[in-house]
């Protein structure tokens, strides 16, 4: 990996200042909080099928060439996707899902996706492009309603086929997009908390919530394809002070 000086020399120009959350998956390589899905390329899937055919014919040289081709196709795909995401965003939050565990359960569609390589390319390009990169826990990101915060969504292996669901609050979600939105919101909370800690000489104890109402100074993000305003609730609380139950 290049040094920071080399990264600065090869700095990636940014063309927009968006913010996105990324949810890795097995139906699609990744899904973003803006509703974009990066599918498995058809040519890559076709290449993945060919080594098995070659192995049945015991053609080891052909198998080796095919595996090298798959590696190069995946690397090229990840480079193009990661470059575009870094150029378009000032904050990228990646969900730390258990990809290895997913690969064991769901096989080639996950194992061949190169999630770790894509994540590493995004992180490295963020350094070169001056984009803030964060990784957050993916726990409950799928079943948490990104509108009201209730744990009302589908969960568990038996519910994997449920791709669309509705919350009791009236919000309708796509499973993976909702998870990506929750990933972004958690990342924004963490980023806001870090900023407050860094800017305070005598940081108080802090309470961090999920949402506030729309305000003019709130950052704009894309959720489900629609521009929305959101900002973290950050309430400075001195030790021993009473915390309000419902902050305005």
Put residue 207 in one of left, alpha, beta given phi > 0 → left and psi -120 to 50 → alpha.
beta
For residue 45, what pLDDT is reported? 55
Sheet-wide strand order for 37-38 = 37-38, 30-32, 18-24, 89-96, 132-137
Q: Are 211 and 230 in contact (CB under 8 A)?
A: yes
Could you give the 3-state DSSP secondary structure of residue 234? strand
Q: Which residues form the domain of 209?
A: 4-237
- pLDDT score at 98: 61
DSSP state of 157: G
Q: Name the pTM for this structure.
A: 0.70
57 falls within a domain: yes
- The total of structural domains in the chain comes to 1
Please provide the distance, in angstroms rounded to a whole number, between the alpha carbons at the two ends of the chain: 47
Check: CB of residue 99 under 8 Å from CB of residue 24.
yes
Measured CA to CA, the distance from residue 200 to residue 198 in angstroms comes to 6
Place of tokens 């990264």: 7
* Residue ranges in the chain whose pLDDT is less than 70: 1-10, 41-59, 98-113, 200-248
CB 197 within 8 A of CB 154: no
Q: Which residues contact 100 (CB under 8 A, 6 or more apart)?
A: none
Residue 245 lies in a domain: no
Asked whether residue 11 is assigned to any structural domain, the reply reads: yes
What is the predicted pLDDT for the residue at 106? 59
d(Cα 222, Cα 17) in Å, to the nearest integer?
12
- pLDDT digits over 92-118, tens only? 999 987 666 665 665 555 555 678 889
Total length of the chain: 248
**Token couple for 175:** 């499973």
Residue 243 included in any domain:
no
Are the beta carbons of 188 and 93 closer than 8 angstroms?
yes
Give the β-pairing of 205-208 and 172-174.
unpaired
209 within some domain: yes
Per-residue pLDDT tens digits for 155-166: 877 787 889 999
Q: Would 155 be classed as within a structural domain? A: yes
Element holding 92 (H helix, E strand): strand 89-96
């Amino acid at each position: 990996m290049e040094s920071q000086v080399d990264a600065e020399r090869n700095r990636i120009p940014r063309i927009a200042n968006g913010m996105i959350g990324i949810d890795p998956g097995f139906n699609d390589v990744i899904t973003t909080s803006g509703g974009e899905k990066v599918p498995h390329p058809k040519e890559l899937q076709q290449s993945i099928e060919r080594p098995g055919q070659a192995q049945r014919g015991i053609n080891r040289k052909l198998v080796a060439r095919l595996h090298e081709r798959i590696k190069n196709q995946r690397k090229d795909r990840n480079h193009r996707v990661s470059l575009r995401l870094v150029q378009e965003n000032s904050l990228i939050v990646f969900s730390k899902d258990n990809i290895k565990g997913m690969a064991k359960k769901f096989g080639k569609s996950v194992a061949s996706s190169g999630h770790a390589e894509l994540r590493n390319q995004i992180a490295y390009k963020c350094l070169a492009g001056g984009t803030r990169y964060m990784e957050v826990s993916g726990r409950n990101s799928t079943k948490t309603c990104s509108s009201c915060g209730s744990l009302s969504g589908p969960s568990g292996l038996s519910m994997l086929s449920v791709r669309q669901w509705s919350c009791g609050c009236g919000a309708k979600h796509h499973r993976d997009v909702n998870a990506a939105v929750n990933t972004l919101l958690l990342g924004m909370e963490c980023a806001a908390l870090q900023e407050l800690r860094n800017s305070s000489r005598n940081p108080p104890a802090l309470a961090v919530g999920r949402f506030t109402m729309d305000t003019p100074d709130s950052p704009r993000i894309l959720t489900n394809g629609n521009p929305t305003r959101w900002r973290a609730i950050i309430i400075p609380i001195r030790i021993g002070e009473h915390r309000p139950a419902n902050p305005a």
